[in-house]
């Protein structure tokens, strides 16, 4: 099968030796910078990935002898990017899906400490939420529902990959952190769930992926 290669490691506009010093933890700066970076790069990276996966899907369908069906990587509207934890999104109208939420709230003292400043290890979380549908409620647990879950799985996996590639574009996040992100994200996936959209009365299937990085922040 074809393996598509996309440049995902070119740093952008950051001095990765930056100390990321702030008057306080300034974790809000981290989540804002990550959100802005994803918003900047996601459209182009999504376009590149779409081309790669179209070719892969055609070859895969031919290999397993099924009809080819295009899977479109979801576009995230500008107003559906958020900072801070947003549990309300789980029950939000479908117009607010798909969405990407970035937060950086929790931290702990780093094992390494310098004399001139304090260093904290902070958790940077990026949650990707996708949905698929509408679908007839009576078909949720039949073949139609199973195939829709399969489509949703492909969509959220590919969109999440695009988001991770956006972070790799500048692992220093514009210089708001100490150095650069050194380790890849831990990624966890929710089980899909279904619910009725109150505004349209249609049923949809939903799923989320959480990507968590460890970043370092220095404070005076």
Instruction: Considering only residues 79 and 13, tell me which one the structure prediction assigns the higher pLDDT.
Output: 79
* pLDDT range class, residue 13, cuts 50, 70, 90: very low
Q: Which segments within the chain are labelled E, that is strand?
A: 21-22, 81-83, 99-103, 107-109, 118-135, 186-189, 193-196, 203-219
Q: What single DSSP character describes residue 166? A: H
Between CA 206 and CA 194 the distance in angstroms is 6
- Do 209 and 50 meet the contact criterion of CB atoms below 8 Å apart? no
Report the pLDDT value the prediction gives residue 219, as an integer from 0 to 100: 76
Between CA 204 and CA 206 the distance in angstroms is 7
pLDDT for residue 128 is more than 90: yes
Q: pLDDT for 131-153, tens place per residue? A: 999 999 999 999 999 999 999 99
Average per-residue pLDDT in the chain? 88
Q: CA distances (Å), 84 to each of 31, 35, 160, in order?
A: 8, 10, 18
- Do 157 and 37 meet the contact criterion of CB atoms below 8 Å apart? no
pLDDT for residue 17 is more than 60: no
Q: Which residues pair with 32 in a beta bridge?
A: none
Q: Where are the domains of the chain?
A: 21-219
pLDDT for residue 14 is more than 60: no
């Amino acid at each position: 099968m074809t393996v598509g290669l996309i440049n995902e490691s070119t740093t952008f506009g950051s001095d990765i030796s930056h100390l990321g010093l702030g008057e306080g933890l300034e974790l809000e700066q981290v989540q804002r910078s990550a959100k802005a970076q994803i918003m900047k790069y996601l459209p182009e990276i999504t376009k590149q990935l779409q081309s790669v996966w179209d070719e892969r899907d055609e070859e895969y369908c031919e290999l397993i002898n099924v009809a080819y069906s295009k899977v479109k990587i979801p576009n995230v509207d500008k107003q559906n990017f958020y900072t801070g934890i947003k549990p309300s999104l789980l029950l939000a109208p479908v117009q607010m899906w798909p969405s990407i939420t970035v937060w950086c709230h929790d931290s702990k003292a780093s094992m390494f400490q310098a004399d001139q400043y304090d260093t904290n290890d902070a958790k940077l979380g990026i949650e990707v939420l996708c949905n698929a549908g509408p679908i007839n409620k009576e078909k949720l647990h039949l073949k139609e529902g199973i195939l829709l879950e399969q489509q949703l799985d492909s969509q959220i996996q590919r969109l999440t990959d695009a988001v991770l590639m956006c972070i790799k574009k500048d692992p220093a996040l514009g210089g708001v952190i100490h150095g650069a992100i050194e380790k890849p994200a831990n990624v966890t996936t929710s089980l899909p769930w279904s619910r009725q959209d109150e505004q349209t009365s249609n049923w949809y299937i939903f799923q989320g992926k959480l990507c968590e990085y460890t970043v370092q922040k220095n404070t005076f």
